[in-house]
Structure 1
Amino acid sequence: MDFRVACVILSLVASVGADAFTFADGASASCVAGGKIVKEVDAEPSQTGLNFTGKTVRISSGFLIIWNAERLKTLPPEVHDYLFFHECAHTRLPTTDELKANCAGLQDMRAAGRAGFAIESRLGAFYGPGGDYWTRTLKCADVTATSEPP
């Protein structure tokens, strides 16, 4: 089994605790990076006005994902769910590169059975149909697992 698929499956079947992310359909998952569950927290009220929905920060024990729950609630369901995979990819690779996190996040979302043509079309519409950002994400995510992403 592909290591990435195993990690995604592990993250989806891991016991759900306070650090778990809740998908739009009510299912929950934890981000797993380096064999450890990544802590996830909601932003402090003083941070919720800031311009972010989710962000990954390095901490002494690894990484922390901070969610702006108010902004997350306003997103279309597929975008809400995609952001989990995107932020988790930041920790799993690890990377600060947004395109790499997009690419790996979409590959992980597919491996988890949470993406496909309809979902990805709606993600594309959200990010701007034909837009360079999403086009490059798809191009990278479509590279086979045995190839090095562009």
Structure 2
Amino acid sequence: MLMAEIEVLPLLHNVFSPQRLIESARTVYGLGYRVFIVTKASGSAAQVGVPEAQKLALKLGKSLIYLPDLPDAIEMLKPDHTILVVPKRFAKEPLTSFLKDAGGRILVVFGGSDPGLSRRELEMGLPVFVDGVEGGSGSSRADCDHPLSS
């Protein structure tokens, strides 16, 4: 059986904390992804976190894409699939189940702050939960690293 080619685009949405943004960038690049996307960064995350994440990307020969909002990322990046990593109570399908048949360009959206993603944002893609993650937000990008590692 031939596996479909997958291109994963990790995206951090609605982040306020510069530390969370920078740590997310380190994790994404450390896992081998070439591109990290950030949308709707606010306050010190926008003023401090985005420039620091950009500096890290340049040092590592990677890319950082910063866009105003999630719909902009979907419009500009044109993914084949948009999945939103959320707590189990907000999703019907586990991430591993989705990945079995997935192919193409996949935009993987993580909420950058609690409570995560809004109801309106959940309608922009397929909400999935990470198998084995109980309690907590489930939206942390680190919760999802293993199934998507490149």
In the superposition, the TM-score normalised over structure 2's length comes to 0.30
The structure where strand makes up a greater share of residues is 2
Relative contact order (C-alpha < 8 Å, sep 6+): which is higher?
Answer: 2
In the superposition, the TM-score normalised over structure 1's length comes to 0.30
